[in-house]
């Protein structure tokens, strides 16, 4: 009898092994079916699991439906944002509240297939820290989605050094300690594999299914490509110069200052030796501008060095505000 009781108690006290994080925004038509599919897959995995749905400020019936479903499942947690913060903030909240040592993320529009979760786990257990899905047969519009994505993936792979076919696929699995260490801002969620690689993580990629959207509207548009480019600049800087910003600012600043100094030296020479009039020459303005730019860039580098020290020494603060947590333990 004691053995049976211990076994039952152990099953309840068993540590969560797998957390599934799903950011949603206005997905009232998809959320019930999505959760049903995820829970059905988790039953086949035989690991203690939890599902965390992050509502990113939906203004339809998503929260109402989520609240009802959460009451029916003990392993389902709902996190409701006060307003729409974006997918990156939703991912960050999911990482912070996840209890599993493996964290799976996927979109809430049913285009990612929960049935691919075991495939990600299998690859992950080969010793990788991050496994990213590759939507090899992507079911999206060619001009507005697929072509810009292909271009962006090649650019990101080139500049980050982490070669993936599909950075935009939300279906991924992470080692929890890696995911929780990454601070996310802007649209940085798509760069998580590259950010993880900066911390020394092993990254792999596996082909996954992709389905056409049946219900609801896509929240993506081509204008997001420009945000991706700006965030890519941040990632490149983070990868190469985050602990030594003065090296990049100082390098460019010294080059600018040197060029300006040489121009000014040349103008001073022809003024003193040949008596040339230099007051109305554009070259004088250029020389002064380059010197001032050089001084400013070096100063910026010094300020950045101080900011980096502050970053590493200060406490981490969340980039979101939560209204409520459903089924909080």
Instruction: Judge contact between 109 and 135, C-beta under 8 A.
Output: no
Q: Residue 249 pLDDT more than 70? A: yes
Residue (of 44, 178, 11, 45) closest to 101 by Cα position: 178
Q: Residue 27 pLDDT more than 60? A: yes
SS3 23: strand
Specify the higher pLDDT residue, 194 or 146: 194
- Which single residue is written with the structure tokens 């998503």? 62
What is the Cα–Cα distance from 110 to 170, expressed in whole angstroms?
11
Q: What is the DSSP string of 48-112?
A: -EEEEEEE-S--SSHHHHHHHHHTT-TTEEEEEESS---HHHHHHHHHHH--SSEEEE--SSS-B
pLDDT at position 225 is 62
Average pLDDT of the residues of the chain: 85
Q: Which of 38-47, 56-65, 175-184, 303-312 has the lowest mean pLDDT?
A: 303-312
Tell me, rounded to whole angstroms, the distance of Cα 71 from its chain centroid. 30
pLDDT at position 294 is 93
Output the pTM of the full model: 0.73
Q: Residue 206 pLDDT more than 70? A: yes
Q: Residue 222 pLDDT more than 70? A: no
131-160: average pLDDT: 80
pLDDT bracket for residue 9 (50, 70, 90):
very low
pLDDT at position 189 is 84
pLDDT at position 1 is 44
Q: 301 Cβ partners below 8 Å, 6+ apart?
A: 245, 246, 247, 248, 249, 250, 253
Q: Give the burial class of 110: count Cβ atoms within 10 A of its Cβ; 0-12 exposed, 13-18 middle, 19 or more buried.
A: buried
Specify the higher pLDDT residue, 160 or 127: 127
pLDDT at position 6 is 45
pLDDT bracket for residue 3 (50, 70, 90):
very low
pLDDT at position 114 is 95
pLDDT at position 151 is 80
Contacts 24+ apart (CB under 8 A), 87-90: 87/23, 87/25, 87/56, 87/170, 87/187, 87/189, 88/184, 88/185, 88/186, 88/187, 88/188, 88/189, 88/319, 89/56, 89/184, 89/319, 89/320, 90/23, 90/54, 90/56, 90/320
């Amino acid at each position: 009898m004691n053995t049976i009781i211990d076994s039952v108690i152990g099953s309840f006290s068993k540590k969560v092994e797998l957390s599934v994080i799903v950011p949603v925004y206005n997905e009232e038509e998809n959320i019930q079916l999505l959760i049903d599919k995820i829970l059905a897959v988790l039953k086949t995995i035989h690991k203690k699991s939890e599902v965390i749905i992050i509502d990113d400020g939906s203004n339809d019936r998503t929260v109402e439906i989520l609240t009802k479903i959460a009451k029916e499942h003990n392993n389902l947690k709902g996190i409701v944002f006060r307003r729409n913060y974006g997918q990156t903030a939703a991912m960050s909240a999911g990482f912070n509240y996840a209890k599993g040592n493996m964290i799976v993320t996927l979109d809430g529009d049913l285009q990612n297939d929960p049935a691919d979760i075991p495939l990600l786990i299998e690859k992950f257990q080969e010793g990788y820290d991050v496994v990213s899905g590759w939507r090899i047969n992507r079911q999206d519009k060619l001009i507005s989605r697929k072509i810009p994505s292909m271009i962006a993936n090649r650019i990101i792979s080139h500049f980050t050094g982490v070669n993936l076919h599909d950075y935009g696929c939300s279906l991924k699995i992470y080692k929890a300690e890696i995911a929780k260490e990454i601070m996310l801002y802007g649209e940085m969620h798509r760069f998580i594999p590259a950010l993880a690689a900066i911390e020394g993580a092993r990254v792999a990629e596996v082909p996954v299914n992709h389905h056409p959207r049946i219900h609801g509207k896509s929240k993506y548009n081509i204008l997001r490509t420009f945000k991706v480019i700006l965030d890519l600049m941040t990632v490149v800087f983070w990868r190469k110069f985050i602990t030594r910003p003065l090296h990049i600012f100082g390098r460019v600043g010294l080059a600018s200052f040197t060029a300006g100094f040489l121009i000014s030296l040349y103008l001073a020479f022809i003024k003193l030796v040949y008596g040339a009039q230099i007051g109305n020459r554009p070259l004088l303005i250029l020389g002064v501008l380059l010197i001032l730019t050089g001084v400013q860039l070096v100063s910026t580098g010094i300020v950045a060095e101080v900011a980096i020290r502050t970053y590493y020494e200060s406490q981490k603060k969340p980039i979101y505000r939560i209204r409520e947590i459903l089924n909080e333990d």
